[in-house]
Amino acid sequence: MGLFDGAADGSGSTADLAIACGLPVVLLVDAGGMADSAGALLRGFCSHRAGLRIAGVIFNRVGGAGHRAALARAVADLPPRLIGFLPREEDLTLPARHLGLIQAREHGALDAFLDRAAAWVAQNLDLTALRGIASDAAGAAAVMSAASSADAAGDGCVLPPLGQRIAVARDDGFAFAYPHLLDSWRIQGAEIMFFSPLADAPPPAGCDAVYLPGGYPELFAGQIAAAATFMAGLRDAAARGLPVYGECGGYMVLGDGLIDAAGVTHRMAGLLPLVTSFASRALHLGYRRATLAADHPFGKAGAEMRGHEFHYATIAREGPGVPLFRDVENARGEGLPDMGRCAGPVTGSFLHLIDRAA
């Protein structure tokens, strides 16, 4: 998305964050098929929002020397510092799938790729200028980091830990846990214990809560269904009354079944009344505000939560049962259906929780 693009109501953009945090912006402009128009574009970005400081500009997908000269001439009278030109380089294109770029952990030659990218950047950009802009931002970043740590240690808006020793699924199928969430749990005194369902590992012994974050269960549905030790450990944790919580992909795994893109149904954990499908995909995307329908480790019934929904899965069957969230709204304040399900200590929904509403 672009600098001024955010939630559906126009808030939460990168520009909003830069102003709120006092941070300068380095604008990356796709210059493919553009020359003199770059001046008009950059002039518009610089004047569009009061209080926003665009400190530098980098042009990407640049052609030969003539293209570089035309771009430099077009922005010569504008205040942002010209940091450099990145030429077209198809060898440095990252593959993507339906939820974004292929994860770094799945990139087979990541170190070599990063080395090539670093050399390419060093050859084409003024790194001294870029470091100077970054040093200007360091003070503001330090203040924000200290405030974040203080917020996590105090009441703030962060989510309470699921437990004291939290088993967190982490591998290629379960990789969408917000770092700030896990960090805040650690600051609040919880221990994070990672395990891999794709390696057929159960939740670690001694854990008192289980968290299945989002990811790509649809790509590994057969492997997950065949992970007997993982499934048995998950069901045992639920039977012992441990909080078991799943978000998005994790929610799908807690259900009865997952239908893959080929229409094949794979048996999941069977802990929630849910069947999801990738045979007919539909995009669900946006910020959400929701209220807990019942008491939960994250708060009492009625507590308001903020989160983000981003998936292509559709619900083939959901329920009966108590929803996890009621009074769900999108960023425009428009009402949405109830989300998720609760079955004793097992809960989940398609919502990636960010924090409690202020």
Catalytic annotation on 248?
yes
C-alpha distances in angstroms, 355 versus 43, 184, 188? 37, 10, 14
| Burial of 8: CB neighbours in 10 Å, binned 0-12, 13-18, 19+ | middle
Closest by alpha carbon to 200, among 178, 179, 173, 218?
173
Contact by Cβ (8 Å): 305, 290: yes
Catalytic residue among 21, 157, 207, 248: 248
**CA gap 223, 204 in Å, rounded:** 20
**CA gap 102, 234 in Å, rounded:** 28
Under DSSP, the state recorded for 104 is G
Under DSSP, the state recorded for 217 is G
**CA gap 255, 315 in Å, rounded:** 11
Contact by Cβ (8 Å): 56, 82: yes
**CA gap 45, 59 in Å, rounded:** 14
Under DSSP, the state recorded for 125 is B
**CA gap 84, 130 in Å, rounded:** 10
Encode 15-46: b = buried (16+ Cβ within 10 Å), e = exposed. bbebbeeebbbbbebebeebbeebbebbeebb
Alpha helices in 154-213 (DSSP H): 179-187
Q: Give the residue numbers annotated as catalytic, written as ranges.
A: 248
